[in-house]
């Protein structure tokens, strides 16, 4: 009678009865073969299925057999969002959002474009979206999205500079390990809401042959003046201060 009530295989081998030191099996406790968690077994697989859905959502618990804890043929356990979306293809809107986020992640983290060809990343997104047919976007698609995001961000920064009444420009000069001289120009402004904004206008490699401080300052001043004149032409009455 007890053998007839026991689920065959305890959800296809995902659980086994606890083995006592004497070698006998404890039919009141089971052990999860996926995480070695010990659970109480009361001749019902409902708690076992709940453990699989909560701790191992990718485990195929649906093939383990019907639950004995049912009311009018329906399980009392509420269907999870993961189960609702499992197997459904990714929508066009979600696919576009994932592509934009991938492009932003690659650009801000300075990752190579070839990361979209990584099979492991594709498996992670397939598991996260519940769509085993999801494919990563091509390298050209990511490149286009990065350029589009750069253009949109640049336009937003230009608009802030046009609206600002005063801006301050600062320059940062450094020499790389290859003895190349670099100059970065940063703009600082306060908008109408009295919020401070700072962002880089550009970074350029300058051919400074000597380490003379006067030469470096001249190069820095020329760069700041060039940016200031360009800003003044666009902004009209905008005042530029050199720092």
Give the three-class secondary structure for 183: strand
Cβ contact 35:72 at 8 Å: no
Q: What is the pLDDT of residue 78?
A: 62
Q: What is the pLDDT of residue 38?
A: 84
Q: What is the pLDDT of residue 181?
A: 78
Give the three-class secondary structure for 97: helix
Q: How far apart are CA 42 and CA 107, in angstroms?
A: 54
Tokens 């360009």 appear where? Answer: 230
- Cβ neighbours for 43, distance < 8 A, ≥ 6 positions apart: 5, 6, 68
- According to DSSP, the residues that pair with 169 across neighbouring strands are 187, 242
Q: How far apart are CA 73 and CA 190, in angstroms?
A: 65
Q: What is the pLDDT of residue 152?
A: 92
- Cβ neighbours for 123, distance < 8 A, ≥ 6 positions apart: none
Q: What is the pLDDT of residue 57?
A: 74
Q: What is the pLDDT of residue 13?
A: 74
For residue 167, report the phi and psi dihedrals to the nearest 5 degrees. Answer: -135, 150
Q: Which residues of the chain have pLDDT under 70?
A: 1-9, 59-87, 204-243
Q: How far apart are CA 68 and CA 25, in angstroms?
A: 22
Give the three-class secondary structure for 241: strand
Give the pTM.
Answer: 0.50
């Amino acid at each position: 009678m007890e053998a007839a009530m026991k689920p065959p295989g305890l959800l296809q081998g995902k659980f086994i009865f606890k083995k006592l030191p004497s070698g006998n099996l404890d039919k009141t406790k089971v052990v999860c073969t996926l995480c070695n968690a010990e659970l109480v077994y009361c001749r019902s697989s409902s708690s076992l299925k709940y453990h699989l859905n909560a701790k191992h959502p990718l485990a195929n618990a649906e093939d383990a057999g019907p639950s004995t804890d049912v009311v009018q043929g329906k399980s009392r356990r509420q269907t999870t969002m993961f189960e609702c979306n499992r197997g459904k293809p990714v929508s066009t809107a979600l696919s576009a959002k994932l592509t934009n986020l991938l492009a932003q992640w690659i650009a801000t983290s300075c990752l190579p474009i070839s990361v979209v060809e990584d099979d492991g990343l594709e498996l992670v997104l397939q598991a996260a979206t519940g769509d085993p047919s999801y494919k990563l976007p091509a390298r050209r698609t990511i490149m286009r999205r990065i350029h589009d995001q750069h253009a949109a961000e640049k336009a937003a920064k230009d608009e802030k500079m046009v609206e600002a009444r005063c801006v301050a420009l600062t320059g940062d000069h450094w020499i790389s390990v290859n003895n190349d001289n670099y100059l970065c120009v940063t703009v600082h402004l306060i908008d109408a809401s009295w919020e401070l904004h700072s962002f880089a206008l550009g970074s350029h490699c300058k051919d400074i042959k000597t380490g003379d401080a006067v030469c470096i300052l001249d190069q820095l001043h020329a760069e700041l003046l060039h940016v200031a004149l360009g800003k003044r032409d666009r902004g009209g009455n905008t005042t530029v201060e050199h720092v």
